[in-house]
Structures are given as structure tokens and as C-alpha cells.
């Protein structure tokens, strides 16, 4: 039975208090997939109350009990992998091979790595004559985006379970289907009633209500910097903890000693993965000025190798962007870049040739980009790469850091020691050298307007814990 028009509260699927619904649109076809119920403040109240009741007992569970629970969740998640693949293809247009290789498996990876971190996590330590204790913070409001839905849900729910917190999840209303399946997984795994709750809805009607709720102790939010500011201001009245992973405009410095062909082509593929809809995408490629034209030609050829089309086709590399709103925003930024003097090496405005419906964007590479241009300052969230040039390594580092964001940065070099020295000077929460495999045991989060707090494994657990100091604990 479909749970699309219900919420998961206190261990049961319940009818919403209101009657308002929202169509879920398949961005590849522009057709309605289903409709979901939209919540309101009274639905949030019920979910928070259930989480508050459950916290009294769940916060007292042992490490062993939570390890066993997380193992059951992981087993149930893996059993529903095919359903999750179908959901992310339908709700956000993720290509089949990306859904199978990354979008769905990354959720299991978070649960697994957080469970491993829990095995040896130090919840208490003696110091002098006192005891320092790390205790679950309480009821947590989790607000997640549409671009990597399972990645962000699991990266928040897993540390909450590991630490003994209870949660209310509001996934993106644009891509809610995978979250509904995730709630079914939690039910199948036997998560105690009230420990995990799901309320669908919009940011103003549900997300802000959660952020400002007096019975919520912590908010974990992933989304745009603009929305993150609203969440933080709303939460401030109740002085609750706010952890945020926000926007980015990440630089990718290709050093003179890099394997140029490999580094530039790899940077294009990394930027365009998930149709460019990643907050840490390397959207500003910095290359030596003397090799700018060479880099643009390599980037152009790399972009042309990527197949854009039906997400359900086995060989599709890039699907659509998630919505008409996103498509229009991206087209506007492409037009602005051209008007400001950037040159199109490949791609440009409009849909790819031969595609006349769906929210598809041409994989686009811009050359002659100055870091003051709009295309180099604003987060595009689409398959659009800007290539900038630098005269010296010092200038490259200065350009890389000249952004209000600080989520990620990338360095390409054939000399690891050289790359490490450059990486140390980049003001970003995540720096990647020469494109290794993604690792959910490494902390993730940003500097500056890219947020605060960290996610993944034990780093994520820290944000769900309060610290208590007990003096005179020992004789």
C-alpha cells in the first residue's frame, strides 16, 4: 500500500491533519508520478511530541542495543535497494547507473561507517577528579535536500540513532519518494515508535516550524545558503544547536605539474556528475594561463563524451536537472555569463539537440571567465563549468579562496607533496587531491557561508551530543 499521502509518526502511518497535496514531477518526462500529502504545524507538533516521549527511553539504550538496531536498518536498506533506485530515477531524474553506483549505495555506506564509529566511540572520560560525558542532545529536526536525497537522510539519521537521539525528518517535497521508502525501512527494521518520524511538506509550513519548535533541541539542515540563513534565524529564538551544510562554488586547481589531460577531463566529469547538482561540485577550474586554450579543448572533448538523455537507459551519463524552476535558473545564469563576456567552449543555452521535453541542460563549459563574473560567484547547480586562468600559483590560491563559500576545493598535481602544500592553504572544509574514491568516513562540511558543523561517521555523531562535566566524580 502506498504511503505517499501519509506521515510516519510514533511508529505508524497516519493521515495528515490537512488535505493539501503536491504533485511529484518526473523531471525527465515532466509527467506527474504521484502526489504527496503536505504537512502543517499540527502534524509537526504530533511528530515532535512522539519524538520527545521516545527520547526518554531511547536515550538510555546501550551501545550494543543501538549497534544491533543499526545493523537491522542496514539489512533492510540493502533489501530495498531496487525500490530506492526506482525512486531516485523517478523523483529527481538520476541516471540508472548513477543511482545504482552512488545515489543508493551511499546511504548504506553512511549507516555502515557510522555503525563502525559507534563500536569504539568514547562517550565518557575521566579527567583529574571529574568525569566528562557525551550525552544525546535530544529531539532533532532533520531537513534534507533533493539532490542526493539518501546521502543526506542517512548522513543525519545514522548519527542520531548511534547517539541515542530521536528525530523528525522533513525531506525535500520535490524528491520525497526515497524518503518515504526510508521510513518504511525504519519500520521494517523495528525502530522503536517515536524514534524516527517523517513529515512531508514545504520549507515555510514544516521546515521552519520544526526549526523554531520549542521541543526541538537541534536542527540539522542541508540546502542553499539562503534557506540556511532562514533556518538559523528561526532557530535562534529557542537557542538550539543548528548544524548546516550549505552552498558551494568549489575551485579545482590544476597545477602546472599535473597530468593535464587526465586532470582536466576528470574535472569535467566530476563537475557534471549528477547533472552538476552537487553542493561540492568543482565548478571553477583554475588552469595556468599559458595552457588555457589547451585546457578548454580538453574540457570541450570531455563534455562531448557524456551522453545526456533518458535516465532509465543503461548508458546515460547525465539526466535532467530536478525541476522547471532549476532549469530556468540555470538557463538564466548561462545567458548572464555570455552577456558578461564568458565564451562558450561547448554547450550553451537551451536543451541538448534532439531533446524537446524534460528539464535537460546542455553540458556547458565556459572559457575566458573572470572570478568577478556572476558565473564564477553564484552556485549554478547544473552541468556548467567555468575555466579560469592564473599567472602564478599564488594567484591560483588567491582566486580559489576568493569566494563567500568554503565547502570544498580540489588540487591536481603529479607531485603529492606539492599538492599537499597547496591544499593546506585552501579555505574549505573538504580538500580533495587527485580525485580519490568518495569516503564517508572523512568529515564533510564547510567554512564561511558553506555552513557549520560536520557530518559523516564519528564526526557526524559529535553534533548530536551534549557535553556534561561532572566535578568530584572520583574520590
Rounded distance between C-alpha atoms, residue 383 and residue 35, angstroms: 28
Write a three-state SS string for the chain: CCCCCCEEECCEEECCCCCCEEEEEECCCCEEEEEEECCCHHHHHHHHHHHHHHHHHHCCCCHHHHHHHHHHHHHHHHHCHHHHHHHHHHHHCCCHHHHHHHHCHHHHHHHHHHHHHHHCCCCEEEECCEEEEEEECCEEEEECCCCCHHHHHHHHHHHHHHHCCEEEEECCCCCCHHHHHHHHHHHHCCCCCCCEEECCCCHHHHHHHHHHCCCCCEEEEECCHHHHHHHHHHHHCCCCEEEEECCCCCEEEECCCCCHHHHHHHHHHHHHHHHHCCCCCCCEEEEEHHHHHHHHHHHHHHHHCCCECCCCCCCCCECCCCCHHHHHHHHHHHHHHHHCCCEEEECCCCCCCCCCCCCCCCCEEEECCCCCCHHHHCCCCCCEEEEEEECCHHHHHHHHHCCCEECEEEEECCCHHHHHHHHCCCCCCEEEECCCCCCCCCCECCEECCEECCECHHHHHHCCEEEEEECCCCC
Catalytic residue (one of 91, 245, 379, 462): 245
Note if 279 is an active site residue: yes
Catalytic residue (one of 165, 173, 279, 462): 279
Note if 76 is an active site residue: no
Active site residues: 245, 279
Amino acid at each position: 500500500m502506498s504511503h505517499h499521502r501519509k506521515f510516519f509518526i510514533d511508529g505508524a502511518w497516519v493521515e495528515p491533519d490537512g488535505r493539501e497535496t503536491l504533485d511529484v514531477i518526473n523531471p525527465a518526462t515532466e509527467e506527474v508520478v504521484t502526489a504527496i500529502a503536505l504537512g502543517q504545524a499540527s502534524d509537526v507538533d504530533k511528530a515532535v511530541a512522539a519524538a520527545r516521549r521516545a527520547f526518554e527511553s531511547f536515550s538510555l539504550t546501550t551501545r550494543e542495543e543501538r549497534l544491533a538496531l543499526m545493523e537491522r536498518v542496514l539489512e533492510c536498506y540493502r533489501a530495498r535497494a531496487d525500490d530506492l533506485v526506482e525512486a531516485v530515477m523517478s523523483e529527481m531524474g538520476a541516471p540508472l547507473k548513477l543511482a545504482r553506483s552512488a545515489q543508493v549505495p551511499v546511504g548504506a555506506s553512511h549507516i555502515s561507517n557510522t555503525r563502525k564509529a559507534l563500536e569504539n566511540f568514547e562517550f565518557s572520560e575521566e579527567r583529574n577528579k571529574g568525569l566528562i560525558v557525551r550525552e544525546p542532545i535530544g529531539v532533532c529536526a532533520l531537513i534534507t535536500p533533493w539532490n542526493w536525497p539518501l546521502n543526506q537522510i542517512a548522513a543525519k539519521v545514522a548519527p542520531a540513532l548511534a547517539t541515542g537521539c530521536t528525530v523528525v525528518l522533513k525531506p525535500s517535497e520535490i524528491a520525497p519518494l526515497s524518503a518515504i521508502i526510508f521510513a518504511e525501512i525504519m519500520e521494517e527494521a523495528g525502530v522503536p515508535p517515536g524514534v524516527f518520524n517523517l513529515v512531508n511538506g514545504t520549507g515555510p509550513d514544516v521546515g521552519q516550524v520544526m526549526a523554531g519548535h520549542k521541543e526541538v533541541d537541534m536542527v540539522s539542515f542541508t540546502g542553499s545558503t539562503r534557506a540556511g540563513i532562514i533556518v538559523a534565524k528561526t532557530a535562534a529564538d529557542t537557542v538550539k544547536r543548528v548544524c548546516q551544510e550549505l552552498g558551494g562554488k568549489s575551485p579545482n586547481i590544476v597545477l602546472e605539474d599535473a597530468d593535464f589531460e587526465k586532470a582536466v577531463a576528470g574535472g569535467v566529469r566530476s563537475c557534471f556528475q549528477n547533472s552538476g547538482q552537487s553542493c561540492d561540485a568543482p565548478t571553477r577550474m583554475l588552469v595556468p594561463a599559458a595552457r588555457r586554450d589547451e585546457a578548454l579543448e580538453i574540457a570541450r572533448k570531455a563534455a562531448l563524451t557524456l551522453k545526456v538523455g533518458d535516465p532509465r537507459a543503461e548508458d546515460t551519463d547525465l539526466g535532467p536537472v530536478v525541476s522547471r524552476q532549476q532549469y530556468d535558473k540555470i538557463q538564466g545564469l548561462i545567458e548572464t555569463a555570455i552577456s558578461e563576456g564568458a565564451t562558450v567552449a561547448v554547450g550553451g543555452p537551451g536543451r541538448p539537440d534532439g531533446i524537446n521535453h524534460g528539464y535537460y541542460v546542455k553540458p556547458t563549459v565556459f572559457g575566458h571567465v573572470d572570478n568577478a563574473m556572476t558565473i564564477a560567484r553564484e552556485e549554478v547547480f547544473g552541468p556548467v563549468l567555468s575555466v579560469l586562468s592564473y599567472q602564478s600559483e599564488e594567484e591560483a590560491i588567491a582566486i580559489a579562496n576568493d569566494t563567500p563559500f568554503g565547502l570544498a576545493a580540489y588540487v591536481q598535481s603529479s607531485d603529492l607533496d606539492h599538492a599537499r602544500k597547496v591544499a593546506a592553504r585552501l579555505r574549505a572544509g573538504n580538500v580533495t587531491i587527485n580525485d580519490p574514491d568518495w569516503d564517508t568516513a572523512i568529515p564533510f562540511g564547510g567554512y564561511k557561508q558553506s555552513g557549520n558543523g560536520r557530518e559523516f561517521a564519528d564526526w557526524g555523531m559529535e553534533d548530536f551530543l551534549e557535553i556534561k562535566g561532572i566535578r568530584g566524580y572520583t574520590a
